[in-house]
Amino acid sequence: MVVRPPRESQIIDRWFDSLSNQQEEVSKDELDKLGQNILKEINKKIDVNENDLSIPLNKEKIVHFDFRYLFKIAAVFILGIIVVSILVLNKSNINNVQYSSVEVKVKEIHLSDGSIVWLKSDSKLSYPEKFDQNSREVYLEGEAFFDVFRDVNRPFIIHSQDMVTKVLGTSFNIRDYKKDVEKAVEVLTGSVQVSLNRESGNHESVLLKSREKIFYNKENPDVVELLKKEALVVLPEATKELKFEEVSINEIIEKLNLAHGVKIRVKNQKLNSCKLTADLSYEKLDVCLEIISRALNAKYYQIEDQIYIDGKGCLN
């Protein structure tokens, strides 16, 4: 038997009276029984102090229940919910950035680490506003060309529909539309590790180097076609706009390498600090090299797939 203290009994009785006024179909006996059950559960969950208990001669326990305990528990519970909610909302505000390209025109996106992504039509890229200290991860739906800033301590990982592509610093193109049967990764510079997300659970990895391309067909998942030295990456038009005003040779060469898919290096490191003003947009590679060489009083030559610029240094 549970004996209710007078004050708590009045509060609960008034609450049940209000319920009975709203729901006449519930009998008074049923409400009283429900009240008894609620009080039993409260008595079980509240840690009652021994001083709050008195045992009369009939050995029935009389529990003096203080509602302040309940209010304290409720306050702590509500505070916990508020703190967790703030943390979750804060995290989502920091991490969730999404960019979609539904137009034919390519969208240029600059990431926090210095990497650049050219998002192609009917594609979507999700990425954090700021990458964490250990990794750089983005999510791609569709097709994009990546020029990844090199960071040996933080690999750059692209999750797409049927592939996971991992790099340190390189330039490459990923085509992985959900609607397409054939998927492809083409590497322009550097090296790329591609893992295939097969339904069988066999996540095979393939290492691609410069000028290599991999084909993956969902209808024939056991066959992976690798083309070496034949990859022809279709570069975004934005990479071919090469207007420079007092820009260092080192930066100009980086842009030329990306725009033309070549490897240009400077033999004399003093040339890297030289600055040049020129418009090389949509010019052929040999024309660009001739303009740079004349401006620096240097010369250029090619050994296998490597192009070198050599000279004494800046003219002024």
| Per-residue pLDDT reduced to its tens digit, 184-203 | 888 877 888 888 776 545 55
The token pair at 87 is 């943390």
The token pair at 186 is 């083409």
Q: What's the confidence (pLDDT) of residue 172?
A: 86
Q: What are the pLDDT digits (tens) for 11-24?
A: 555 655 554 454 44
Boundaries of every domain in the chain: 6-91, 96-227, 241-310
Q: What's the confidence (pLDDT) of residue 155?
A: 92
Asked which of 26-40, 121-135, 270-284 is least confident by mean pLDDT, the reply is: 26-40
- Candidates 253, 185, 175; CA nearest to 225 is 185
The token pair at 146 is 């990546």
- CATH of 96-227 given 2.60.120.1440, 2.30.40.10, 3.30.70.100, 1.20.1630.10: 2.60.120.1440
Q: What is the DSSP letter of 262?
A: -
Q: What are the pLDDT digits (tens) for 292-307?
A: 998 888 999 988 778 9
Q: What are the pLDDT digits (tens) for 246-259?
A: 888 988 888 888 77
pTM, whole model, 2 decimals? 0.50
The token pair at 287 is 């024309």
pLDDT band at 159; cut points 50, 70, 90: very high
Q: What is the dihedral of CA 62, 67, 69, 73, to 10 degrees?
A: 130
Amino acid type, 249: I
156 beta partners: 136, 167
Amino acid type, 121: S
Q: What's the confidence (pLDDT) of residue 17?
A: 58
Q: What length is written for the chain?
A: 316
What is 241-310's CATH topology?
A: Phage tail protein beta-alpha-beta fold (3.55.50)
pLDDT greater at residue 121 or residue 223: 121
Percentage of residues in the chain with pLDDT exceeding 70?
Answer: 58
CB atoms within 10 A of CB 271: 21
Are β-strands 156-159 and 136-147 bridged in parallel, bridged antiparallel, or unpaired?
A: parallel
Q: What's the confidence (pLDDT) of residue 154?
A: 92
Q: What's the confidence (pLDDT) of residue 299?
A: 92
Q: What's the confidence (pLDDT) of residue 309?
A: 92
Residue environment code for 82-104, b if the CB has 16+ CB neighbours within 10 A, otherwise e: eeeeeeeeeeeeeeebeeebeee
